[in-house]
Structure 1
Amino acid sequence: MTPRINPALLTGLRFGMILQLAIGPVAFMILNTSASKGFLAGLQIMIAAALVDSLFILLSFLGISAVIERPKIKILFKISSSIILSLFGMNLVLSFFQISLIPNISLFSELTATSPFVNGLLLTASNPLTIIFWGSILSKQIIENNYTKRQLCLFAAGCVLATIVFLTFVAILGTLLNNFLPEKILKLLNIFIGVLLIFLGIKLLRD
């Protein structure tokens, strides 16, 4: 007998995949990192992104989103998020000239501020306003589908699973680019993604 997938988990997986189609800065970072440093480096960013997404969903479940919705706090988060995105973007552009804006500070024995995993944590966490989004999504599921706490957890797990599946595919795609594209093109990809991150940082302030 074929095991059935829980409907709430499946709904979360479908919803999460739809969200992933709106490709964001983390996906671009994974594509770029995998193309320049290999699949495992891109995979580190994916793991970091999944962890931060899980944390944001947990915080929204605990009601933290209500605090972040306060106007002054919301503006503060927007400014900090914009600065972080733009900093990452400028760092990628300047890396073409072998200049780094992000210092190589040792955090643990094998982790530095420029390691893919730490970069993934910082970039994914750069927009805490995501907590508000997840808070509204979880509330919607409770109201429309009358989800229990268990069903809500399964829905959230499906969303995180979608992040893992999609970003792993992006890491594989980046690795393929590394195998087929010349080094000069990969460096230009760095600049393109850097400019894109700067644009997203500026756009965040205007939204």
Structure 2
Amino acid sequence: MNMLFDGIKIGLILGFMIGPIFFALVQTSVEEGFRAGAMVALGIWLSDFLFVLAVYFGVSYLAEIVNTQSFTLILGIGGSILLAGFGLASLLTIPKGLLTNTVPEYKRSSSYPSLFVKGFLINTINPFTVFFWTSLMGTVVIKDGFDGNQASTFFGGVLGTIILTDLLKVILAKKIRYSLRPVHLLWLRRISGGALIVFGVVLLVRVLLLVGW
């Protein structure tokens, strides 16, 4: 049971961190509804699950790749461009409903596959996501000598908590939608887009500093 509780604690820390995932989930859920937000979350969860499988079955090989400067630089630049691109798209494309004087009904402007891919890419093309799962495997699972069942319990606690907290964000974002006027929704879109651009720039700077540029 200790492994499960340890996983839940780490999942809670991750779940309530304010980062690009938070803004992507909240903006999508407020503007396009629960299902749209859940599709973004589903892409994020699949990305995390694949990372867990990768580090569990190939931790030594993956760690060797992750520790190379070329990998960090390429993934960092790609991730920063991706985040900035999503941010610019939020700033430059404004749904017509947000320009009216009444609270618009939910109108999904993105397909479910594109929302899924958005969540998957935001989480995947980020070198610090890779570093996190690799470090977690090395510092907790391998160091403490977890067997297969213990590792499954630990990572199940982490991933399960992430899923629950992400769903909570989506549900709460949906709940507050009708308390907001169109101008509030517009500012939320601007803040979310600006935040994604900032995260992209910060990611690029951190990666360049990390590789010694």
Q: TM class by shorter-chain length?
A: 0.7 to 0.9
Match of 2:123 in 1: 124
Counterpart-to-counterpart distance in 2, 1:202 and 1:7: 39
Cα deviation, 1:57-99, whole Å, max 9, x if unaligned, reads 211222223212101121111101100010000000111387x
Question: For residue 4 of structure 2, what is the amino acid of its counterpart?
Answer: L
Q: For the aligned residues, what is the CA RMSD?
A: 1.9
Counterpart-to-counterpart distance in 1, 2:138 and 2:186: 44
Displacement after TM superposition at 1:111 (Å):
5.1
Cα deviation, 1:17-74, whole Å, max 9, x if unaligned, reads 1122222211211111111111111111111111111111211222223212101121
Counterpart-to-counterpart distance in 2, 1:97 and 1:39: 17
Match of 1:154 in 2: 153
Match of 2:23 in 1: 28
Counterpart-to-counterpart distance in 2, 1:52 and 1:128: 13
Match of 1:7 in 2: 2
Counterpart-to-counterpart distance in 2, 1:151 and 1:144: 13
Displacement after TM superposition at 1:118 (Å):
2.1
Show structure 1 runs of 4+ deviating over 6 A. Answer: none
Counterpart-to-counterpart distance in 1, 2:195 and 2:143: 37
Counterpart-to-counterpart distance in 2, 1:188 and 1:16: 30
Match of 1:81 in 2: 79
Task: Classify 1:111/1:178 alpha carbon distance in 2 versus 1 (closer, same or farther; 3 Å).
Answer: closer
Counterpart-to-counterpart distance in 1, 2:93 and 2:133: 34
Contact 2:91 2:193 in 1 (8 A): yes
Quote the sequence identity (%): 29
Judge which range, 55-64 or 143-152, deviates more: 143-152
Contact 2:36 2:112 in 1 (8 A): no
Question: For residue 198 of structure 1, what is the amino acid of its counterpart?
Answer: I
Counterpart-to-counterpart distance in 2, 1:184 and 1:21: 26
Task: Classify 1:117/1:97 alpha carbon distance in 2 versus 1 (closer, same or farther; 3 Å).
Answer: closer
Structure 2: stretches of 5+ with no match in the other structure: 97-109, 207-213
Q: Which has the higher helix share?
A: 2
Contact 2:11 2:158 in 1 (8 A): yes
Question: For residue 93 of structure 2, what is the amino acid of its counterpart?
Answer: S
Question: For residue 175 of structure 2, what is the amino acid of its counterpart?
Answer: L
Determine helix, strand or coil for the equivalent of 1:119: helix
Counterpart selection for 2:40 from 38, 41, 45 = 45
Counterpart-to-counterpart distance in 2, 1:66 and 1:154: 26
Counterpart-to-counterpart distance in 1, 2:163 and 2:141: 24
Question: For residue 204 of structure 2, what is the amino acid of its counterpart?
Answer: L
TM, length-normalised to structure 1: 0.84
Alignment length (residue pairs): 190
1:59 and 2:54 correspond? yes
Match of 2:210 in 1: none
Contact 1:26 1:124 in 2 (8 A): yes
Displacement after TM superposition at 1:9 (Å):
2.0
Structure 1: stretches of 5+ with no match in the other structure: 1-5, 99-105
Counterpart-to-counterpart distance in 2, 1:90 and 1:19: 26
Displacement after TM superposition at 1:10 (Å):
2.2
